[in-house]
Each structure stands twice: as C-alpha cells, then as structure tokens.
A and B are shown apart, each in its own frame.
Chain A
Amino acid sequence: SQQGEEDPQALSIQEGENATMNCSYKTSINNLQWYRQNSGRGLVHLILIRSNEREKHSGRLRVTLDTSKKSSSLLITASRAADTASYFCATKTRGKLQFGAGTQVVVTP
C-alpha cells in the first residue's frame, strides 16, 4: 500500500503556465519530500519540507504543507518543456520511505 496519493494523476499544460499537484498522506510525519522522475529513470530529489514548516520555496518550486489536513501541494511556476516528468511525494513511515503513485506532467511548447 502507498502512504501518499497524488492528485491529479496527469496534468497537461502549456509552457509558461503554472502546474499544481497535491499529495495526501495517512499517518503523522516528520517531513515530506517531493521527487521528479524523467521517462522512467531515476528519481531526483526536489525539496524537503519539515512538519513544522508551512511553506518552502526552491527556484520555481513552491511547496506547502498542511499537517492538519495531512496534505501537501507542489507548485511549479512558469513551466518549461523540461519540466515534463512524473512527480512523486514521499513520506517516511516506520522507517520506510513511501511514495505515492505520482502525477504525470506534460508541458507542451
């Protein structure tokens, strides 16, 4: 079973637009991480937000965390074709890093 669930499953936008995806999780966490995966290859860590943080920025990425709702969101601003990838949230539960099923993002020129 997967701890996190991303929504939507897939997202198609044009270059320059913003992309927002959400992650819901089930148990309490110390932190939540977002990863990107290009074309079924290895995952790349994007950002980690701790449970006592509400918002975090990294370049064009903005992550929010609402521990009362057990949810997080990832916003990519001014998207580029190179942002085309699958995005996963991950939380650590009982010592195991658990991933959701991901949001597939396609950015068209």
Chain B
Amino acid sequence: ETGVTQSPTHLIKTRGQQVTLRCSSQSGHNTVSWYQQALGQGPQFIFQYYREEENGRGNFPPRFSGLQFPNYSSELNVNALELDDSALYLCASSPWTTSSSSYEQYFGPGTRLTVT
C-alpha cells in the first residue's frame, strides 16, 4: 500500500508568479483534500475533490484552484502569489465521506512554499 506523496518538497517563488503543487493519494482513496498551514497555526481547509469535481471549499479566493485526475491524484494551483501564501501545503486522502460522517484522513508530508 502506497501512502500519500507530494511534490515538490520545497519551493521558492516570487510574488505574482504562479505555482502548481502535486499530490498522489493513497491507494483505494477517491477523495483528496488540500490544506494550508501557516507557521504556528493549524491546517486551514482549502478545498476537497471527489471523482474529479470540487466538493467543498474553504475561505480561499478563486486564485486557489485545483484538479483531480481519473487516478485520483490531484493538483493545487495558486495564481498571482502573495507573500501571505507562504506556508506548508498539505494534501490528504480518504475514502469518500458524506457531510455527516467523517473518516480519518491520510496526510502527505507537505510542500513548503516560500513567496519572496
């Protein structure tokens, strides 16, 4: 069984640039969620994808977008990077959950994004 993997591990970008982060979900999981974690804070939910469609979104602007592919891997795209986008970006996979139930999520190691 393969765990959740993310790439790249670290990334440094300049304000105004665009970035794409990648995530491969754990085998058998069809739901992927993305989180942003600022230093010293808990993870903040960005959005979730199920069967290639966005299925829930947190309080993040439209310049944060995503994709999920038929093999359930996923991408997070951020346009027009701002200094405050500097954070650890975490991807988590899980079996499908309804709004009224919840399973444990399996997290990847994260991508550390620094915007200068």
Contacts and interface: CB of A to CB of B under 8 A. Distances in A.
- Classify chain B: how many residues form its interface, as a range: 20 to 34
A43 B112 CA distance: 14
**What is the predominant secondary structure among interface residues of chain B facing chain A?**
loop
Contacts of A40: 37, 39, 88, 110, 112
B42 A100 contact: yes
Contact of B33 (A2, A44, A97, A100): A97
Contacts, number: 66
Contact of A42 (B41, B42, B109): B109
Query: Interface range on chain A: under 10, 10 to 19, 20 to 34, or 35 or more?
Result: 20 to 34
Interface stretch (B12-20, B62-70, B73-81, B98-106): B98-106
A50 to B, nearest CB: 9
Interface of A is mostly: strand
B42 A101 contact: yes
Nearest to B40: A101
Contacts of A97: 33, 45, 102, 105
Interface of A: 2, 4, 30-31, 33, 35, 40-45, 48, 88, 92, 94-102
Interface of B: 4, 33, 35, 37, 39-45, 48, 55-56, 58, 88, 90, 92, 97, 99-110, 112
